[in-house]
Chain A
Amino acid sequence: MSEPAARTVPPAARRRRAAPLLPPRDARDGALVFVVATLCFLACLAVVAALGADRAASGWRGELTGSATVVVRPRADETADSAAARAAETLAGVRGVVEADALEREKADALLEPWLGKDDILKDLPVPRLVSVDLDSRSPASAADMDRALKAAGIDATVDDHSLWLKDVLRAAAIARAAAIAVATLIAAAAAAVIVFATRAGLAARGDVVSVLHLAGAEDGFIADLFVVRFARMAALAGLFGAGGAAALAALARLAGGGQGLTPVLPLAWSDLMVLPACPLIAALVAALAARATALRLLGETT
């Protein structure tokens, strides 16, 4: 094989680009993309649900901590209306209270209607009057502060700052949020497991290619990277499909539900969709890590 003095390289050879070392397509690729896309779709929905749950919890918390209700019991020598008005006036002067309004008799009766109906019985009952108090969100007045002020003014009243409900609501919100995150994590793990199985199957199916590459002096890392690139691309594509599907569904829910999203319990915002573009990237990263670890382990078992 002597070197000619002036060698002519055929144009066809000069124009060449390196061909992919793994076969470009595999019959299983479509099924794998479908499975990973489905998992990405579910993971995206779980993340959007987690964001909705977080927003709902914040809303509930804001509503409960931003207000208080005071039940006023009139003394024998005054009317309920004047007792409620006096209580509202007293509370309005407490530091940390923005506004205090005495509920009119009609509104108090309306609150009892679901339980007692519209009978005249309501007129005969000594229905306690309610005072609705809006609190300063930065430094709200405590129930003890309001109670002390009412007692000093000689008003018989009970202050409810919703603290009894707040704990339960916050616990429920935290559980909902944690459950959504756990579901998203579980689905991501399932996607990784699918990639691991697919890499194993891919390596087994491409044993001939791996063997030739080894024979020609390819390093384990080089061979593993071929599978990493393949599965990362596939997962990114699947992530794109999954995130796209989830975005479409979330947008539909947002449009159908108006300003509050699908339901007040799970309010969705357009900004929630901004997290979805991360899905293809995360899917590609998970796939790359799973494929590399699996490929290197399997290659290490060969001679």
Chain B
Amino acid sequence: MTDAAPDDAPVVRFDGVGLRYGRSPEVLRDLTFELAPGSFHFLTGASGAGKTSLLRLIHLALKPSRGLISLFGADVASLKRRQLPMMRRRIGVVLQDKRLLEHLNAFDNVALPLRLAGRKPADYAGDVAELLTWVGLGERMDAYPQALSGGEQQRLAIARAVVNRPEILLADEPTGDVDHEMALRILRLFVELNRLGTTVLIASHDEALVAGSGRAILHLEGGRLERIAPARPL
């Protein structure tokens, strides 16, 4: 566990962060921003603007080339390797490629974070079943990912990301493979999680969804970040 941080400390803080892959030019430049606890942001930008890279920096899958990143008040660069798993358990992640385990059925995929946190099947079965029902997969608990449609896989990935009520939820195009009705339903799930205190950051190019949400927008342009006020309330 990291050092205790004040309750109002930013969940995420970037200070002059830059990222480059190998010797290529920086894909992210001078990023300086904070995500307050309980905030809800959309991350927008053209394809290739660096949205996924930014999310990967936050969920500790990448190290910045320069600058300082703080998570839950702790300097990420000073974290020891053995501290990373506990930090990751506080972060829920929905990736574009879903990363579902093909040899586990829907129930076991969703239960994975709870299992890694040391909970027993008898203890988490109810939570997992309820969440699967909520995302519309209650009848497909025993189905394997390859038997699910793209939209069902997406909902499964979202259920896995939120099952342990993470302190921050990062979602990379979570509504990309679902119809508008399901997109709204997923958004409502994120909003409800947010109401329960989870900080939410969603990368999306669904302009209608973003504009209709009334939430703050972080826009990436040319590797730099600009904060845009919500167009109108949800």
A interface residues with partner B (beta carbon < 8 Å): 1-2, 4, 7, 9-10, 12-14, 16-24, 208-209, 211-220, 222, 300, 303
Contacts and interface: CB of A to CB of B under 8 A. Distances in A.
10 pairs of A and B residues whose beta carbons are closest in the complex? A217-B89, A13-B129, A9-B126, A23-B103, A13-B125, A217-B88, A19-B108, A219-B85, A216-B113, A217-B85
Interface stretch (B22-30, B35-43, B56-64, B201-209): B56-64
Contacts of B160: 216
Contacts of B196: 1
A16 to B, nearest CB: 5
Given A209-B101, A215-B99, A217-B89, A16 B116 contact: no
A1 B141 contact: no
Nearest to B95: A215
A16 B88 contact: no
A214 B101 contact: no
A206 B111 CA distance: 20
A218 B63 CA distance: 19
Contact of B126 (A7, A20, A23): A7
Nearest to B104: A19
Nearest to A23: B103
22 contacts: A1-B165, A4-B130, A7-B126, A9-B126, A10-B138, A12-B141, A13-B107, A13-B128, A20-B103, A21-B101, A208-B99, A208-B101, A212-B112, A213-B112, A214-B85, A216-B160, A217-B86, A217-B113, A217-B116, A218-B85, A303-B61, A303-B62
Contact of A1 (B93, B122, B189): B189
A27 to B, nearest CB: 14
B121 A16 contact: yes
Q: Output the residue of B62, B102, B125, B162 with the most chain A CB within 10 A.
A: B125
Contacts of B102: 23
Interface in B127-163: 128-131, 134, 138, 141-142, 160, 162
B232 interface: no
Nearest to B82: A219
Interface in B80-108: 81-82, 85-86, 88-89, 93, 95, 99-105, 107-108
B117 interface: yes
Given A21-B115, A215-B93, 11 more contacts: A1-B192, A9-B129, A13-B129, A14-B122, A16-B107, A16-B121, A18-B115, A212-B112, A215-B99, A220-B81, A303-B62
Contacts of B86: 217
A216 B101 CA distance: 12
Nearest to A212: B99
A16 B89 contact: no
Contacts of A214: 85, 88
B218 interface: no
Nearest to A20: B103
Nearest to B91: A217
Given A9-B125, A13-B126, A216-B88, A303 B108 contact: no
B143 to A, nearest CB: 12
Q: Main SS of the interface on chain B?
A: helix
A2 B192 CA distance: 8
Interface of B: 59-63, 81-82, 85-86, 88-89, 93, 95, 99-105, 107-108, 111-113, 115-117, 121-122, 125-126, 128-131, 134, 138, 141-142, 160, 162, 165, 189, 192-193, 196
A39 B126 CA distance: 48
Contacts, number: 94
Contacts of A12: 141-142
B129 A10 contact: yes
Contacts of B61: 215, 303
A137 B52 CA distance: 84
A206 to B, nearest CB: 10
B194 to A, nearest CB: 11
A24 B104 CA distance: 10
A13 B116 contact: no
Given A17-B121, A19-B108, A303-B60, A1 B193 contact: yes
A16 B125 contact: yes
Nearest to A220: B81
A218 B107 CA distance: 18
A91 to B, nearest CB: 78
Nearest to B105: A19
Q: Output the residue of A13, A24, A209 with the most chain B CB within 10 A.
A: A13
Nearest to A208: B99
B178 to A, nearest CB: 18
A12 B82 CA distance: 36
B121 A18 contact: yes
Contacts of B104: 19, 21
Q: Output the residue of B81, B101, B189 with the most chain A CB within 10 A.
A: B101
